[in-house]
Structure 1
Amino acid sequence: MSDYEDGYAAAQNNQGGNYHSSKAAGALLGAGVVGAARLVPLALRLLVETIVAAPFLVLALVVTHPLDFLGSRYSTPRLLCIAAVAYGTLALLYYLKGIAIALRLRGERAGSLLLAGCVVVSVIVPALLLHWLMDYSLPTASLLVSWGVPVAFGLFTYTRYRFTQDFAPTFTLWAYRLGYRAASR
């Protein structure tokens, strides 16, 4: 074989290799875009649920802060304790919501009072804390911004908890059902 033919065959092999490798890279890029498109809604949902559960996370941080036996600030026992306290208080909220819904369905006024207490603890107090945080960290913010963002946050969290509906998320459904059964007797 001549040098020309060897060079021609090598170039053909190289082009074919580039074509197939670029095709594989395109397929991987496409799979990455599809994977990212699937991960973005999950990440947004996690962010939303974290924002809604933020009052319970802050309460858990306050409760576990003085507990020195849990170790350093980011130790595994402390983080597990924070998660347990946050989940426990969220489950308590849904337990009380279950009682309130059952009482409201029976026509008792105590259900509305209990429901109002749940709304104050999980919607109004966090919105006020957000307002105070914004006033402290952004003193030059307009009145519309310093009250608009907390009110929007309060309305958003209120719609996420669905306080007037017979509903609880899967991870706290057991607590809601216990409260509902306790008030139904």
Structure 2
Amino acid sequence: MSDYEDGYEAGRNAPNIRQSYQNGKAIGNGLAVVLGLGFRLVVETLVLAPFLVLGLVLTTNLDFLGPGFGYTRLLSIGALAYGFYALLYLLKGVAIGLRLRGTRHWLLPFTLCLLVACVVPSLLLHLFIVHTVKAAHPVLVWVVPGLFALYTYSRYRFTEDIAPNLVLWAYRRGYHWTVK
């Protein structure tokens, strides 16, 4: 082929090459979004694991909810998990209110909040790592759950006067109960 024909073919195929590049970039961006959302879903599930497990344990022996994991049982697990999540923020409101009053009694609800929200999920993660990865290094078995406990502590912000909108009513109830 002559140089003219090579240039002609390259010019004719240029839109296809550009479109192929754009398609590959769009697929890569879409895959990154899906993986990011999947990772976030796993982390959120681990953060809320104590509440979900508690709801599961409490509904296990309730035969009137139907067999297996039907809609009724899943809704009751979700309702119980939300109730215990709201109870955690009620305790957080009590702890913040007692701390603002200047007493040391705030340490008891604060400790309960830490145990439920930070220690239990990290222990569940520790057990998950130990039982799924047989050849896990001992440092990995304890460092990852420790970092996860720090993450959950930073997420709940137990020493700050703040709560998510979903359970703000429970937090305010606990706060006003102790401040008045």
TM-score after normalising by structure 1: 0.75
Of 94-103 and 70-79, the range deviating more from structure 2: 70-79
CA distance in 1, matches of 2:68, 2:46: 21
Task: Quote how far apart the aligned CAs of 1:86 are.
Answer: 0.3
Over 3 Å counting, the alpha-carbon distance change for 1:42 and 1:177 in structure 2 is farther
Contact kept in structure 1, 2:46 and 2:121, CA below 8 Å: no
Structure 1 residue 86 corresponds to structure 2 residue 81: yes
Task: Quote how far apart the aligned CAs of 1:170 are.
Answer: 0.9
- Pick from 94, 101, 121: which aligns with 1:99? 94
In the alignment, what sits opposite 2:141?
146
- Pick from 54, 63, 85: which aligns with 1:68? 63
Deviations 1:34-92 (A, max 9, x none): x959x656665544332211111011111111111101222111011000000000000
CA distance in 2, matches of 1:47, 1:147: 19
Task: Quote how far apart the aligned CAs of 1:149 are.
Answer: 1.2
CA distance in 1, matches of 2:158, 2:114: 8
In the alignment, what sits opposite 2:165?
170
Report the structure number with the largest CA radius of gyration: 1
Task: Quote how far apart the aligned CAs of 1:134 are.
Answer: 2.3
In the alignment, what sits opposite 2:109?
114
CA distance in 2, matches of 1:174, 1:135: 38
Q: Structure 2: where are the runs of 5+ without partners? A: 1-14
Over 3 Å counting, the alpha-carbon distance change for 1:42 and 1:141 in structure 2 is closer
**% identical equivalent positions:** 49
Q: CA RMSD, aligned part only?
A: 2.7
Task: Quote how far apart the aligned CAs of 1:138 are.
Answer: 2.7
Deviations 1:108-157 (A, max 9, x none): 10112210121012211221232233223333211111101111111111
In the alignment, what sits opposite 2:8?
none
TM-score after normalising by structure 2: 0.77
